[in-house]
């Protein structure tokens, strides 16, 4: 190989440098290539310990997510939801059967307590009757809320509790007003009012269409509906949402009106609607 002669002579510390050849150039290029930063590629990414550790963690999180999320959804679909459905449905069905059989004895007891509420056992029962009904809200409330898909922001959906009671007891009614913050239901027929059913255990009247004697004890008990029954409905409404309430009953079948009127309101929404109208 013929060396490349440089015309200029570099002096280093008073001495001349060797002639710069092509081999020297190749060596410098090779040295530069060894010292330059390595270009990152997908294949070289895992050669660095730090990159490899971070990549493995990312891969582990990704794999865990891809496996656990479908697995959780599968368990929820095949185990949790069917289990909740069976549990809440069993509670609601049990409550329905119990209410159907105990409705008349409880109603008679409540009406007797209303008449005897001034003293003695009657007063004791009257004062604690609401607590007995509240117990049913505690026991059945979560299942009724889940089973009937009651929305805590919509007063109309809370009315499904009233419909459940009516269907269980044989009461007929219709919603005459329905809004997210106000709903009104008219109970137009009740099997416990004006049909010869004695509310008071001391009432001697038997169910007999031909009986022409005094049936005053079979005409119903307004205070039972307006206080005890209304208190039960309020209990459930406030369990769903503290802003839900039931207005005082103005019309009742036991008073000779054409219907019992139940007015459900959502306090905050009802106040806003009144302000808007004003």
| Tens-place pLDDT, residues 103-149 | 888 888 888 888 888 989 999 999 999 999 999 999 999 999 999 99
**Residue 79 falls inside a structural domain:** yes
**Residue 46 falls inside a structural domain:** no
Structural domain of 156:
72-277
**Residue 210 falls inside a structural domain:** yes
CA distances, 78 to each of 58, 68, 69, 70, 217 (Å): 30, 15, 14, 12, 54
Whole-number Å distance between alpha carbons of 10 and 130: 111
Per-chain mean pLDDT for the chain: 79
| Tens-place pLDDT, residues 181-201 | 999 999 998 887 765 455 554
**Residue 77 falls inside a structural domain:** yes
**Residue 24 falls inside a structural domain:** no
**Residue 20 falls inside a structural domain:** no
Read off the pLDDT band of 4 (50, 70, 90): very low
Give the pLDDT of residue 263.
95
**Residue 184 falls inside a structural domain:** yes
Give me the mean pLDDT over the 16-36 stretch: 71
Give the pLDDT of residue 211.
56
pLDDT over 50 at 12, yes or no: no
Count structural domains, the chain: 1
**Residue 259 falls inside a structural domain:** yes
Give me the mean pLDDT over the 164-186 stretch: 92
Whether the pTM exceeds 0.75: the reply is: no
CA distances, 135 to each of 89, 145, 246 (Å): 19, 15, 19
Give me the mean pLDDT over the 46-71 stretch: 75
């Amino acid at each position: 190989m013929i060396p490349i002669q440089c015309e200029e002579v570099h002096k280093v510390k008073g001495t001349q440098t060797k002639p710069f050849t092509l081999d020297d150039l190749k060596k410098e290029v090779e040295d530069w290539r060894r010292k330059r930063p390595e270009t990152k590629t997908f294949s070289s990414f895992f050669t660095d310990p730090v990159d490899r550790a971070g990549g493995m963690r990312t891969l582990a999180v990704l794999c865990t997510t891809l496996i656990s999320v479908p697995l959780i959804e599968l368990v929820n679909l095949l185990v949790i939801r069917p289990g909740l459905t069976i549990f809440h449905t069993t509670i609601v069905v049990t409550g329905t059967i119990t209410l159907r059989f105990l409705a008349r004895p409880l109603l008679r007891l409540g009406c007797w307590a209303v008449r005897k509420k001034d003293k003695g056992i009657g007063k004791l029962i009257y004062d604690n009757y609401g607590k007995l009904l509240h117990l049913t809200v505690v026991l059945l409330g979560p299942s009724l809320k889940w089973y009937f898909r009651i929305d805590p922001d919509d007063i109309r959906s809370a009315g499904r509790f009233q419909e459940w009671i009516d269907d269980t007891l044989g009461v007929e009614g219709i919603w005459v007003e329905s809004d997210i913050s106000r709903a009104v239901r008219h109970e137009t027929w009740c099997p416990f009012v004006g049909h010869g059913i004695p509310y008071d255990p001391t009432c001697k009247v038997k169910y007999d269409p031909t009986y022409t004697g005094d049936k005053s004890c079979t005409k119903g008990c307004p205070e039972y509906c307006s206080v005890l029954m209304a208190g039960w409905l309020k209990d459930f409404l406030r369990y769903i949402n503290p802003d839900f309430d039931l207005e005082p009953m103005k019309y009742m079948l036991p008073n000779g009106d054409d219907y019992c009127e139940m007015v459900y309101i959502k306090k905050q929404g009802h106040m806003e609607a009144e302000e808007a109208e004003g």
